[in-house]
Amino acid sequence: MKVIKILGTLTIAVGLFLSGYFTHKLTNENVQEVSREVQFSYRSNEQPNQINLEKSYTDLEDQNIVDNTMMIMMHKKPSSEVMDIDHPDMYINVLSPKQHTGLVDSRVWFTESGAVIGDRVGESWDQVEYFEVNEQDADYLKEQGGFEEM
């Protein structure tokens, strides 16, 4: 009789565990969190102090765009050019919504040979490091960001 009670208890415990496990698998299988988001923004023509978000891509919807943009940002080369920090052609932000963190805060100026990218390295835009990318990478940023010549 004691063995039957132990086996019954074990059977109930295993049954509860398995029902909880499979319920979790079925209800949470399609739930994924965005880990990276790339935002392309521009200064408003009507409101000069306003920055308008033009396009936004997440790693769940557009993994290739997020990866390619991150690769461009990681492989840019240092530049000696200094640009007008208040008048970029495009703003690029890379965020980690999962961690509630901004990873990249950049301003972009398109040139004949590609683009110059200014990265904020301090608390404000008083501290900026400049980099350059080639024409192919600049064209990719233009295309994904919906850039139109002003």
- Residue 72: the pLDDT is 96
**Confidence check: pLDDT of 93 > 70:** yes
**Confidence check: pLDDT of 30 > 70:** no
61 shares its domain with 86: yes
Cα radius of gyration rounded to whole Å, the chain: 25
| Assigned domain for 24 exists | yes
| Assigned domain for 150 exists | no
22 shares its domain with 70: no
Q: What are 48-91's pLDDT values in tens digits?
A: 889 999 999 999 899 999 999 999 999 999 999 989 999 999 99
- Residue 84: the pLDDT is 92
- Tell me which residue range forms the domain holding 141: 37-145
| Assigned domain for 83 exists | yes
Over the chain, what is the mean pLDDT? 88
Question: 106-113, long-range: CB within 8 Å, 24+ apart, which pairs?
Answer: 106/73, 107/83, 108/141, 109/83, 109/84, 110/138, 110/142, 110/147, 111/138
Contact 95, 34 (CB under 8 A): no
126 shares its domain with 79: yes
23 shares its domain with 95: no
Mean pLDDT, range 100-124, rounded to an integer:
92
